[in-house]
Amino acid sequence: MAIDGNRIRILRKQFGLTQEELGKKMGVIKQTVSSWENNISEPNSEILLNMASVFDVSVDYLLGNDTPTNTFSICKREMTPGGYDNSIRHWILKTGLGYDEVAQKLGISEDLLMDYVEENITIPYQILIALSEICEVSTDCLLGLKSKSREKDLNNVLPFRYDYRIAKRIRKLCQESNVDTKSSFLENLLCLSSKEVFYLIEYGFIPHMDTLIKLADYFNVSTDYLLCQIDDQSEKVLHSFYQLDEDNKDIIIGKIKECIKEQRYESVAADPMPLKKTGTDSPK
């Protein structure tokens, strides 16, 4: 069966190679690679074996007889202490897009994208969200914390769009309590892997409710505060309220109810009363 030129083109782009670079690896010129990709000519058996080795696929796949999920060794998701290996690379490969095409969609350079893929630098939150949409997988899956993507919600949106404010607040609490976020302390406190702690600090990823409860208990704050549902002032009020006995709590609750009633009354009084129509525009 004839070679599938389109698969060669896709694989070349996924590995970040130009036609000239692939040609050098195969011992041919750029034009020859172009002729393969356009199904004008075919490589000999020796080059075919070499190409399969370079792309880490079977010869059958290059001939169109196999599927990438059965042949890409990079897609064999082996668990490691940090999660799933090469998760971002894996999901980009599954899109069928080249790295240059993905980088263009993200509005960044291909070199910068490869730094994210190789984990040379931390992928920013907004890039993570955009890449999640391109790959059509939930962000926890894209980060290698889950092997299968979560389904879209009722609004057709992929879940786990982390709130970066949560990460910022947790870092602030760690700084105030002299907790080294790069040490193993949080791993032991929260019973999380080093990668899970990293994503907690970097993106505000909270794996489960137990993590939230342990953080709130250790830092002596409310879960609402951790989730950025209330500000610093509200947290101080809440913390002070917890220290009151039951009688004083009842007094404070009564005062709060009075203030709410007054606030509502003032709000209504401030609105001008609409004039009622008499059915005629002329004065009597």
Q: Are residues 9 and 70 in the same domain?
A: yes
For 218-228, write each residue's pLDDT tens digit: 999 999 999 88
Output the pTM of the full model: 0.50
Q: Which domain holds residue 173?
A: 164-230
For 35-51, write each residue's pLDDT tens digit: 998 888 888 888 888 88
Q: Are residues 95 and 124 in the same domain?
A: yes
> Given phi > 0 = left and psi -120 to 50 = alpha, else beta, which region is 178?
left
In a domain, 284, yes or no: no
Q: Are residues 249 and 210 in the same domain?
A: no
| The pLDDT value given to residue 75 | 33
Between 158 and 249, the more confident residue is 249
In a domain, 151, yes or no: no
What is the CATH number for 135? Answer: 1.10.260.40
Q: Strand, coil or helix: what is 79?
A: strand
In a domain, 22, yes or no: yes
